[in-house]
Amino acid sequence: MADAQTGGGPEQSRLELEHPIAFLTLTGETLDAVLTQVALSTAGDGTACRLRVRVSWDVYQVIASDAWMGLHATFRLQGQEAALEAGRDVELRVVLRHTLLTTALRFGIEAEHVLQALLEDSLEGQRLRCSECWLITEALQQLEVPAALAGGTLKKGYRTQWAADVQALPVAAKPSLHETVESYMAQAELDFDWLDGDIGRCMYSGANGSWAVLIRTDEAQQLCLVYSVYPVSVPEAQRAELAVYLNEENYDLVIGNFELDPSDGELRYRTSLDVEQAALTPALFQRLFTTNVEMMDYYFQLLAGRI
């Protein structure tokens, strides 16, 4: 059973619990965790919403390798990192991005209200469970306590720059979506050109065929979309039957979907990312791009047999 505590001082409300929670990354992976604490605290004129979650070593490795929850290597404070022990659970202490406080506090200003908002089966709840809404401030593991210290706890780990008041941290300028796309395409040595201000194009060759890839960026909405365009238009006589097939396939696809234009038969596969609450890094764009082209390559011959 959860134990709620309130009181004066910087921490205005705290809730202790053991509740499973799953955070969703921008590329569709699930980060399973156990929520152990929800806390609201005040600092100056601001309010901070913090969680403690326990994750398995495997989940921590995914978070660290892919830099989810703001865990970029450059954000770990030098001289404070202690080696974590492989195979053991990790306690992550995370803070909510300040721009999402209104969403977290929509039911009230106590920890119980934050928990309600976080676990609600709604678009707002899903948004709060996005991994990039939270920033890791500390990663810790509990140590075995010597007999002389029985009853206490010892933890080792490291802090990050996010451990400081998030509002007080200098805001680093995010690279534009154009710059990130161009950086990856140059690194991948793909011949890429912008057709206009928002849409770029390259040719891609997979194991089963070649096709055009379109990349659309929307700086205002912080959206990036990738389209693999099948090289042959679907004849009008096959469009209705193929649309049914694509709809069935889309139902089971975790990331992206097929689109068929009924007017001209253009067939494409789309993947997209909303990075309003995060930065589109070259590594993140690489996953968006490679997921797209790998799916088109997988389906290339299957589609050829139906057109």
State residue 152's pLDDT score: 53
What CATH class has 177-304?
A: alpha beta
**Residue pair 12/40 in contact by the 8 Å Cβ criterion:** yes
Give the residue among 157, 295, 172, 304 at the shortest CA–CA distance from 242.
Answer: 304
State residue 117's pLDDT score: 94
State residue 24's pLDDT score: 94
State residue 239's pLDDT score: 96
State residue 90's pLDDT score: 95
Residue 12 CA to residue 163 CA, distance in Å, equals 18
Give the residue among 2, 110, 91, 5 at the shortest CA–CA distance from 51.
Answer: 91
- State how far Cα 6 lies from the chain centre: 32
Residue 275 CA to residue 257 CA, distance in Å, equals 19
Domains in the chain: boundaries:
3-168, 177-304
Residue type (1 letter), 8: G
Q: How would you class 270 by CB atoms within 10 Å of its CB: exposed for 0-12, middle for 13-18, buried for 19 or more? A: middle
State residue 278's pLDDT score: 64
10-residue mean pLDDT series, the chain (307 residues): 41 88 92 96 73 97 92 66 82 91 88 94 92 93 65 75 60 72 90 90 96 93 92 95 94 89 96 76 86 96 92
